[in-house]
Chain A
Amino acid sequence: GQQVMQIPQYQHVQEGEDFTTYCNSSTTLSNIQWYKQRPGGHPVFLIQLVKSGEVKKQKRLTFQFGEAKKNSSLHITATQTTDVGTYFCAGTGYKYIFGTGTRLKVLA
């Protein structure tokens, strides 16, 4: 069946370091969306990418959609303690599906 895997599963970084999480789908996606879930909170929608090769930025966050529309990445430049949380990708293949998530811990 359709699967969306994210790597790494966990990442600990020192504050100020960069961080990247990768999202890989077993099927072509019509779009990719990213969510952030703070500890103790619920997932919050961040952004959507639709076009092949699309790149979008939100302050220190850069989102990219692969050319084949089967993978995506989220890169955070100079992490801050406020970036702590779990980042999920989600996309629509033959159904809407969430990725497995990457938990980010930022050490001050």
Chain B
Amino acid sequence: KAGVTQTPRYLIKTRGQQVTLSCSPISGHRSVSWYQQTPGQGLQFLFEYFSETQRNKGNFPGRFSGRQFSNSRSEMNVSTLELGDSALYLCASSLDGGANYGYTFGSGTRLTVV
């Protein structure tokens, strides 16, 4: 079966712009989580959506937002980009929010802000 698909794979944006990243979860997975990973850093949790509702949110500024559609596809938006937003953004999907089956990650979107 198809895995988690993230688009685009690479993105270069200018400081001050906004960006939208897309994630298509595995079919049947209703939970989608987003993580930010900077070089040598761990996984910084952004937010989790389950059946179109945001269930959890990490400690990121309001410039980071997301949503989930009825088909479980999710988008993440970052407004007013800053240089420090350069990172790998990972989307992960799960049947049950990770509790019993863990998460399947996509290959990520590598965002560079110049």
User: Which residues of A does B touch, CB under 8 Å?
Assistant: 30-31, 33, 35, 41-45, 48, 88, 90, 92, 95-101, 103
Cα(A95)–Cα(B104), bound, Å = 17
26 A–B pairs (Cβ distance < 8 Å), ordered by A = A30-B99, A31-B99, A33-B98, A41-B107, A42-B105, A42-B107, A43-B92, A45-B104, A48-B100, A48-B101, A48-B102, A88-B42, A90-B102, A90-B103, A92-B98, A92-B99, A95-B56, A96-B33, A96-B48, A96-B98, A96-B99, A98-B43, A100-B42, A101-B42, A101-B43, A103-B40
Dominant secondary structure at the B interface:
loop
Partner of B108, one of A35, A42, A99, A101: A42
Cα(A98)–Cα(B101), bound, Å = 14
B112 to chain A, nearest CB (A): 15
What chain B residues lie within 8 Å of A45 (beta carbons)? 102-104
Which 6 pairs of residues, A with B, have the shortest CB-CB distance? A45-B102, A96-B98, A42-B105, A101-B42, A98-B43, A100-B42
What chain B residues lie within 8 Å of A88 (beta carbons)? 42-43
Please state if A97 and B102 are interface contacts (CB–CB under 8 Å). Answer: no
With A35-B102, A99-B42 already in contact, 20 other A-B pairs whose C-beta atoms are closer than 8 Å: A30-B99, A31-B99, A33-B102, A41-B107, A42-B107, A43-B105, A45-B104, A88-B43, A90-B102, A90-B103, A92-B98, A95-B56, A96-B33, A96-B48, A96-B56, A96-B98, A98-B42, A98-B45, A101-B42, A103-B40
